[in-house]
Amino acid sequence: MPVVALRKVSKKFGKHVVLDNVDLEVAKGEVVAIVGRSGSGKSTLLRCINGLEFIDSGEIAVNGRRVTRNLADLRRLHREVGIVFQSYNLFPHLTVERNVELGPTKGKGIPLGAARKLAHDALAAVHLTDKLNDYPARLSGGQQQRVAIARALAMEPVLLLFDEITSALDPQLTGEVVRVLEELAAQGRTMILVTHEMGFARRAASQIVFMHNSRIWEHGPPQQVLENPKNPEFQTFLSAILRN
């Protein structure tokens, strides 16, 4: 059973089609990199997978259960799917430790002692155990983003979603975040990333998905897809990225 399965998923914002008949399957342990130009529907796809947006037609299943608008189902979905955003979105009034343990304690109802252990393990995974008592405003962008990753990890999700998480960071900070992503991929975690980091996608992804105009045009293993792009739009996209 795939961790995520999308079948004929379509969605509009008003008249504007953002997802057009999208099919996608992600097996356990897969790392899927979704690439494509801005506005091609990549972020909306992620947001639909964890119920932040709802689809108009088709079906999304996570861990074999359909994503619905039912509040109790959505809460369970959020225990299974972690997401990290481009703008970190840490809770500014809480310390790093409290940011990370809030989900386990108040989201999953885990006792504080066990939740703190989860939080510390998650922060260790992103190499930030020395920042437990700092407030987010005191951290660099890269550190804040790693805390956001830890916040998602502490929920022990079966699937992690990353929505352009390095786009707001300078190259050096991007490097430290990408390193964490590569470590997570190496641990066999199931991940879907919207990313412009083609180097990372090539090294760590098991599947690259190219989206354009709300549809998936090409997908497959990085070597196959990147060496031999069939779609002219994808060729243009790749050459634009490689020129930079």
Among the listed ranges 87-95, 113-121, 139-147, 189-197, the one in contact with another protein (CB under 8 A) is 87-95
> Could you give the C-alpha distances from 110 to 12, 157, 173, in angstroms and in order?
38, 14, 33
CB of 155 to another protein, least distance (A): 6
> Could you give the C-alpha distances from 113 to 118, 124, 158, in angstroms and in order?
9, 17, 22
Q: Is the dihedral of CA 48, 50, 52, 58 positive or negative?
A: positive
Please report, as residue ranges, which positions from 210 to 239 form the binding site for another protein (by CB under 8 A): none
Among the listed ranges 79-87, 166-174, 181-189, 225-233, the one in contact with another protein (CB under 8 A) is 79-87
Answer for which of 36, 41, 103, 142 binds another protein (CB under 8 A) is: 103
Token output for 90: 């840490």
Q: Is the dihedral of CA 194, 207, 78, 54 positive or negative?
A: positive
12 binds another protein (CB under 8 A): no
CB of 110 to another protein, least distance (A): 11
DSSP 206: S
CB of 71 to another protein, least distance (A): 8
Tracing tokens 């502490």 back to the chain, one arrives at: 154
Residues that bind another protein (CB under 8 A): 50, 52, 71, 74-76, 78-79, 81-83, 85, 87, 89-93, 102-103, 106-108, 135, 137, 151-152, 155
